[in-house]
Amino acid sequence: MTNRLFLIDKKYVLWNQSGDCADKRYSLELFGTTPDAKVCSLSDTIAGPKKECSDEKMLPMFNTIVDKTNEEGFGLGAAHVVEEIKFLPANGLSVDFKTIASDTFSGVSEARNVVVRDQAALDALWAEHSRIRIPPPPAPKVNFKTEMVIAVFGGNGSACGSFGVVRANASDGHLVIRTEHRAPDPGVMCIAVVANPMQMITVPRVDAVVDFVQVKTQNIDFTDLWRGPYSHMPTPRNIVIKDATTFATVWNQSHSGGTLPVVDFSKEMVVAVFGQGGPTGCETTEIQSVYRESGKIHVSSVNWSLKPDSGLACPAAISNPGHLVKLPRSNDTVEFSTQSRHR
């Protein structure tokens, strides 16, 4: 889900949206100085994309924005100034994040939560974290104009457990980072090694207060129905499916043929996540976990991509990755959260 505002040349406001509605998966709207002064718009409709401009002189600039939506500055060049207007999403909604580092053995041995808003502070924290590495790896580079870093350190614990951020969300004007420290399963053989787990993520830069909450989740088992890099869904979408007709429609929209999997909708439901694609087949989407927390079902997905220096060859084909699973049917609210990671 996307909901972003940009100020262009201090004269125009661009509203960029995408979501899960079947008849309006995305829209771009360019406004003048007031919300009722709409200059141009592009929207997804049942009949196909619809583009309008009340001022034809603005059409060339709007076409550039449409063609280069995913580029910084929308390809408008140095003659234009583009500034993003930062704000949290609506109360309760998830905030997408990107994992830039995770480790089982950190040089930070005590439990700690840190919000980092500049490169110097990140360099200092990274030096503390990596002091047990010889040579220490370089600190991640972050664009602090648009992002900030959240770092969580779990302190001493079992090397067989797990620790990290399970979700970020907006709540009453605050950014809430939900972490979980999960003990190893009782039946798992584990060597007696003390670990100091950590995770660093980036989130969109906001001036809001950041709260850290420890949670306890309950995993929900699910069964894969399909996962691959090449669906026919051009934009990210999350869908909860509870009937056979909708399932057949989504399956046909997202696949080229293939047998429709068997789902007993009296006992089961389907969750579909279509993630962020890219220029190669190495961009994939995975539903990493489904869990229950605070009376709701949460679907946690990961958009995977290769590290720039991986040296691996990728199929040169535009990807629109997706993952469909089935799980026990429930009337509880289903919420989605997404993170990005490198392999």
Residue of 271, 290, 281 whose CA lies nearest to 220: 290
Residues 269 and 280: beta-carbon distance below 8 Å:
no
Q: What is the pLDDT of residues 87-128, one digit of tens each?
A: 888 888 899 999 999 999 999 999 999 999 999 999 999 999
152 forms beta bridges with 113, 199
Largest Cα span, the chain: 70
Name which of 20-34, 199-213, 276-290, 317-331 the model is least confident about. Answer: 20-34
Q: How far apart are CA 304 and CA 275, in angstroms?
A: 9
In a domain, 92, yes or no: no
In a domain, 150, yes or no: yes
62 and 103 co-located in one domain = no
In a domain, 172, yes or no: yes
Check residue 269 and give its pLDDT.
Answer: 99
Check residue 20 and give its pLDDT.
Answer: 57
pLDDT-based confidence at residue 21 (cuts at 50, 70, 90)? low
211 and 229 co-located in one domain = no
67 and 113 co-located in one domain = no
Phi, psi (degrees; rounded to nearest 5) at 159: -70, -10
Q: CA 284 → CA 234, 298, 315, distances in Å?
A: 14, 20, 12
Check residue 25 and give its pLDDT.
Answer: 66
Q: How far apart are CA 238 and CA 106, in angstroms?
A: 35
Average pLDDT of span 249-261:
88
Q: How far apart are CA 259 and CA 335, in angstroms?
A: 28
Judged against a pLDDT cut of 60, whether residue 255 lies above it is answered with yes
118 and 105 co-located in one domain = yes
Residues 290 and 297: beta-carbon distance below 8 Å:
yes
Judged against a pLDDT cut of 90, whether residue 18 lies above it is answered with no
233 and 326 co-located in one domain = yes
223 forms beta bridges with 326
CB atoms within 10 A of CB 93: 15
In sequence order, which residues have a C-beta less than 8 Å from that of residue 22 and are 6 or more positions away?
Answer: none
Residue of 334, 338, 239, 240 whose CA lies nearest to 296: 334
Residue of 317, 318, 227, 230 whose CA lies nearest to 271: 227
Check residue 71 and give its pLDDT.
Answer: 87
Judged against a pLDDT cut of 80, whether residue 185 lies above it is answered with no
Residue of 224, 237, 325 whose CA lies nearest to 274: 237
Global confidence as pTM = 0.78
18 and 106 co-located in one domain = no
55 and 111 co-located in one domain = no
In sequence order, which residues have a C-beta less than 8 Å from that of residue 257 and are 6 or more positions away?
Answer: none
From 216, 248, 283, give the residue that closes a domain. Answer: 216
Judged against a pLDDT cut of 60, whether residue 34 lies above it is answered with yes
**For 236-266, b where at least 16 C-beta lie within 10 A, e where not — what string?**
bbbbbbeeeeebeebbeebbeeeeeeebebe
Higher pLDDT, 17 or 239: 239
Q: Which residue carries 């001022």 as its tokens?
A: 55
Count up the domains in the chain and report the number: 3
Residue 167 has which token pair?
Answer: 């979700």
DSSP, collapsed to helix, strand or coil, labels residue 188 as coil
Check residue 85 and give its pLDDT.
Answer: 85
From 59, 85, 111, give the residue that closes a domain. Answer: 85
DSSP symbol at 80: S
In a domain, 124, yes or no: yes
153 forms beta bridges with 112, 198
244 and 203 co-located in one domain = no
pLDDT-based confidence at residue 160 (cuts at 50, 70, 90)? confident
Q: How far apart are CA 17 and CA 129, in angstroms?
A: 38
186 and 224 co-located in one domain = no
Q: What is the pLDDT of residues 49-94, one digit of tens each?
A: 889 999 999 999 999 999 998 788 999 999 999 998 888 888 888 9
DSSP, collapsed to helix, strand or coil, labels residue 313 as coil
Domain that holds residue 65: 2-85
Residues 173 and 133: beta-carbon distance below 8 Å:
no
64 and 159 co-located in one domain = no
Residue 180 has which token pair?
Answer: 């979980």
Judged against a pLDDT cut of 80, whether residue 249 lies above it is answered with yes
Residue of 125, 257, 253 whose CA lies nearest to 200: 125
From 182, 216, 250, give the residue that closes a domain. Answer: 216
